Structure 1
């Protein structure tokens, strides 16, 4: 992989890669966002859980 690509070359390459992917419906995108929200935890929640476990 060449690291000396111009911004325009990177943009063109990204567009080519995206054009090969299947289209995503709005409903699929919403479902994916919902799953990410459910699985993610905030930094505060992690710190609270560690505090409860450690002490």
Structure 2
């Protein structure tokens, strides 16, 4: 796999991948954000 691609090529590939994804509803996005927030909270905070 070639990692030497231009920014334009990288942007084009990213757009293609996003177009293939299923649309997400606002409620699904909120639920995902809630889960991420819960998972990211640690019990022992570093000071």
The bucket for the TM-score relative to the shorter chain is: 0.7 to 0.9
Q: Which has the larger radius of gyration?
A: 1
In the alignment, the residues of structure 1 paired with residue 23 and residue 2 of structure 2 have an alpha-carbon distance, to the nearest angstrom, of 28
Name the one with the larger helix percent.
1
TM-score, normalised via structure 2 length? 0.82
Cα-Cα RMSD: 1.8
Runs of 4+ in 1 over 2 A off after TM superposition: none
Query: Which position in structure 2 is the counterpart of 1:3?
Result: 3
Deviation at 1:41, TM superposition (A): 2.1
Query: Which position in structure 1 is the counterpart of 2:39?
Result: 39
Q: Which 5+ residue runs of structure 1 have no aligned equivalent?
A: 49-55
TM-score, normalised via structure 1 length? 0.72
In the alignment, the residues of structure 2 paired with residue 20 and residue 28 of structure 1 have an alpha-carbon distance, to the nearest angstrom, of 18
Deviation at 1:39, TM superposition (A): 1.2
